[in-house]
Structure 1
Amino acid sequence: MTPAARVQAAIELLDAVIEAARSDGAPADRLIADYFRARRYAGSKDRRAVRELVYRAIRVSGPVPDSGRAALLALARDDEAIAGLFDGSAHGPAPIREGEPVARGGLAPDWLAALLAASGVDGKDAAALLDRAPLDLRVNTLKAARETVQLPVPAHVTDAPNGLRVEPGAPVESWDAFRDGLVEVQDTGSQFACLAVAAQPGETVIDLCAGAGGKTLALAAMMDNRGVLIASDSDRNRLSRLGPRAERAGAGMIETRLIDPGKELAMLAEFAGTADAVLVDAPCSGTGTWRRNPEARWRLTPERLARFVPVQERLLDIGAQLVRPGGRLVFVTCSLLDAEGADQAESFLARHPGWVPDSLDLPLGSPRGKGWRLAPFADGTDGFFIARLTRPW
């Protein structure tokens, strides 16, 4: 592919990403993979260059652009080399026309940027949400120790007790250490969220919204494969991925439960009032993960955010009924919006007199309301809100 053809390919892909964002379609990664699967002639350098252009254009565009061309023109506005590739060549984009639409910059759509600012995320904190994320690993202590794991690339120790950081894009899944279950891909912030559960060997712990089980696997390691660990979720496809991952990790204690939405408590009735800890890693806007999924900010609407909040409330109330007296309810969202964090913790405590917020003093992050916040700029992690709430005796 010529440099101009790469720009045209990026424009076509951005058109698809924009349409998917408007219609709740496939994520950008999948669209890019599908695009090149149908274009085998594109070499690895071409694929890498086009992918880089697509994500640069996504990050530089605040609100949803009018078109992929408008998004690329936003890059061209500040990069003469890209502007020169709008040359009208056979496989390149048409020359730039005076006055044609150019994507507007900024963090996100105005309403969302305002909510983030009201939640204390502005300036450098806001800009960091669009940086490229690092690639973090968690050493699986069921099989290895951080100081003994051998990786084929340089790795740096993180602030998480079993964390390592490697260069973004490293082919982790091809490594022996991954195939043998010695390491899992897990952001440092997510590792800290698991630490807040304070799971101990022999306890009964429920991961209420387990998804594909990344946090469940970390809890199994903390529990040294001893006790009861339930991974429940209403998404069959995501939950089905946990089995092979658990086998690879040697986490044989995990029991999965596919839950019908609205019937969570009935389907976990035998654990009512008995769990030592319940983790509610609730569905949320994902504003803390924009470094990995920058187009997600184009998908979020006021209506969608408004639907997340009551779901989080309901899941917290379900989790509260599973916790034993003196037990722990840990609320986690990968969001930096107070509506999905500090406000939710306050609302829960108002609905449940006697419950007490625990003091979290993690190596990274800072207090936020009755909980704890991790953020990309200050902490180098994905954005998280974490609250640990103790049921009265």
Structure 2
Amino acid sequence: MGQAWPFYVVVDAFQRIRTLTPAARCSAAIEVLTDIAERRRPAADALKDWGLAHRFAGSGDRAGIASLVYDALRRRSSAAWIMGSDTPRAILIGALRLQQGLAAASVASLFSGDRFAPEPLSDVERVRLETGTLEDAPPEVAGDAPAFALPELAAALGDDLVPELKALARRAPLDIRVNALRGSREDVMPALAAFEAAPAPHAPQGLRIPIGADGRGPALHVEAEFLDGWYEIQDEGSQLAALLAAPRPGETIVDLCAGGGGKTLALAAETRNGARLIATDGDPRRLAPIHERLRRSGAVAEVRTPRTGKARADVLEDLDGRVDRVVVDAPCTGSGTWRRNPDAKWRLRPGSLALRTAEQAQVLDRAARLVKPGGRIVYITCSLLPSENDAAVAGLISQWRGRFDVVPAEDVLAAGPASLRDAVRITAHGVQMSPLRTGTDGFYVAVIARRG
């Protein structure tokens, strides 16, 4: 049997459903932030558990609380700095000023101590809120990034380090990719006019839709056009990475880390279903959504799902040395997506980075065995860390000495829109997109050609 709640708790819950004010949402956000800090768990899990324990909170309330939590996580270090404290309460207070631009008086009205509101601001909190500054803060604080990752981030971003990190701490836009198998973005834009959809800055099939003041966008996944496969929700950087893969009709293409199929669908659309496209993933659970997405979009791809357990076999063995193009959307730390997943940066540890780089080396080695002479490997990450990007490519070149060459960045960019060429960073072996430079998540793309 379920837990029997005391009568006063039920009454209290009923009353709160009718009075979940902005102040009450702040109290709830502090509860969730405390759970995240104490149990070192993903924000999504903590928010879900809070919602299950407080069923009186409606969807709008839950979304508002989530917005407060994610904004606080985006600015965790800088908020703690200006407040002189790293408690969940202090971080939320600081984030209300830094992320939402609230004046001290507005914050004080939320922290009133009234029913369900957080306790009133102390004199110290008021002073810190009014006078705290980031002028002398170190880069990892001003940019809200884990300190151990600063050397790598500085190597990748150079003089743009702090501006880029600040861009990573902002809310992410809502982008969609119009499915070319159904039509052009001009065809679908009238249906999305109510959402103020506008062409994305670079991607030719991309649309960008404004998000609300609470950081939320419209529920596009319930629109008829989505259900009919006219578009997919996909960051513009991911769209551009698929374009830079330069898939061609008539090729055999393997999407080696297909996951839910976002890039598989983009590759199919780019070739107008003219390529033999095989999608697989080392984790069969991640492939679960791909079948419905293929059906909805009209994309044609062969999905090869590996078995688990001792009977596990290589589902791509018959393709060794026969593939024209292997797309490796590699597992990575996701440092380029911190504006979407701000809690991930605070859970990142050197050990998890080492694990990811080992996985990247393994999947690149598998790609090298698949690609035929004259074929290409397209290596993609959503990371800004050189150890996951250029270093991974260099590792493949070294391991397969004399067998592979890095395709020059200028040739890689020729497959994308002209506007992208002046926006990206050119690295030793690839191209790097970033929130500051391209307005996208931090995607890295390198193309490696096998000698004929």
TM-score normalised by length of structure 1: 0.90
Percent identity (aligned): 41
Aligned-residue CA RMSD in angstroms?
2.7
- After TM superposition, the structure 1 stretch with the greater mean CA deviation from structure 2, 255-264 or 36-45, is 255-264
Q: Does 1:235 align with 2:250?
A: no
* Cα distance per residue 1:50-108 (max 9 Å; x no partner): 23322221111139985422322433676412244333333222344567999994422
Structure 2 counterpart of 1:36, from 22, 27, 51: 51
- Partner AA of 2:429 in structure 1: K
CA pair 164-113 structure 1, distance change in 2 beyond 3 A: same
Q: Which residue of 2 aligns with 1:358?
A: 407
How many Å apart are 1:326 and its aligned residue?
0.3
Contact 1:138–1:185 under 8 Å retained in 2:
yes
Structure 1 counterpart of 2:431, from 362, 367, 372: 372
Contact 1:189–1:382 under 8 Å retained in 2:
yes
Matches within 5 A, 1:140-219: 140-149=179-188, 150-151=191-192, 152-158=194-200, 159-168=202-211, 169-219=217-267
- After TM superposition, the structure 1 stretch with the greater mean CA deviation from structure 2, 55-64 or 284-293, is 55-64
Q: Which residue of 2 aligns with 1:257?
A: 305
Contact 1:201–1:227 under 8 Å retained in 2:
yes
Matches within 5 A, 1:300-379: 300-352=348-400, 353-359=402-408, 360-361=412-413, 362-363=416-417, 364=420, 365-379=424-438
Contact 2:328–2:364 under 8 Å retained in 1:
yes
* Cα distance per residue 1:251-287 (max 9 Å; x no partner): 2333232265999983311000000100111111100
Structure 2 counterpart of 1:15, from 8, 28, 34: 34
Give me the whole-angstrom Cα distance separating, in 1, the residues matched to 2:391 and 2:247. 25
Give the secondary-structure state (helix, strand or coil) at the position aligned to 1:181: coil
Give the secondary-structure state (helix, strand or coil) at the position aligned to 1:125: helix
How many Å apart are 1:236 and its aligned residue?
2.6
Q: Which residue of 2 aligns with 1:114?
A: 151
Contact 1:371–1:386 under 8 Å retained in 2:
yes
Give me the whole-angstrom Cα distance separating, in 2, the residues matched to 1:231 and 1:170. 30
CA pair 303-155 structure 1, distance change in 2 beyond 3 A: same
Q: Which residue of 2 aligns with 1:126?
A: 165
Structure 2 counterpart of 1:298, from 346, 354, 365: 346
Contact 1:5–1:93 under 8 Å retained in 2:
yes
How many Å apart are 1:223 and its aligned residue?
2.5
Q: Does 1:51 align with 2:66?
A: yes
How many Å apart are 1:109 and its aligned residue?
2.2
How many Å apart are 1:366 and its aligned residue?
2.8
Q: Which residue of 2 aligns with 1:269?
A: 317
Give the greater-gyration-radius structure (CA).
2
Give the secondary-structure state (helix, strand or coil) at the position aligned to 1:296: helix
Which 5+ residue runs of structure 2 have no aligned equivalent?
Answer: 1-19, 212-216
Aligned length: 389
CA pair 207-93 structure 1, distance change in 2 beyond 3 A: same
Contact 2:327–2:377 under 8 Å retained in 1:
yes
Structure whose residues are more often helix by fraction: 2
Contact 1:246–1:254 under 8 Å retained in 2:
no
How many Å apart are 1:300 and its aligned residue?
0.3
Contact 2:277–2:300 under 8 Å retained in 1:
no
How many Å apart are 1:161 and its aligned residue?
2.0
Q: Which residue of 1 aligns with 2:11?
A: none
Structure 2 counterpart of 1:90, from 115, 118, 125: 115
- Partner AA of 1:154 in structure 2: E
- After TM superposition, the structure 1 stretch with the greater mean CA deviation from structure 2, 89-98 or 296-305, is 89-98
- Partner AA of 1:131 in structure 2: R
Give the secondary-structure state (helix, strand or coil) at the position aligned to 2:342: coil
Contact 1:239–1:256 under 8 Å retained in 2:
no
Which 5+ residue runs of structure 1 have no aligned equivalent?
Answer: none
